[in-house]
Amino acid sequence: MPQQPMQSFSEPKKSRLWLVIVIIVALVVVAAVLYTLRNQIPFVQQYVSEVPSDDVVAIEQDLQAVNLDDLGSELLDIDKELAE
């Protein structure tokens, strides 16, 4: 009979072990995601810093700076690729 209490003690230890393993795996995944996002943030900050203002004049200047010369040919290429 002394073996039965030992088994009941080992079952909670196993469940705690699985809980600890799941927590460690979750922390590793979160750390990997944060590391990846941290490397992408400078790109976002660079883009945001390029738009200094949201007034109409600044927006019009930004629109004028966009090169749309080859837009028609690019759309035709996209149509060809979709048709294939």
Q: What are phi and psi of 64, to 5 degrees?
A: -70, -30
At 1, the pLDDT band (50, 70, 90 cuts) reads very low
Segment 11-32 mean pLDDT: 89
What pLDDT is attached to residue 74?
86
Domain region containing 16? 3-83
Greater model confidence, 19 or 46: 19
26-75, pLDDT tens digit by residue? 999 999 988 887 776 665 555 555 656 778 888 888 888 888 788 888 88
> Which amino acid type is present at position 38?
R
pTM: 0.37
Provide the domain count of the chain. 1
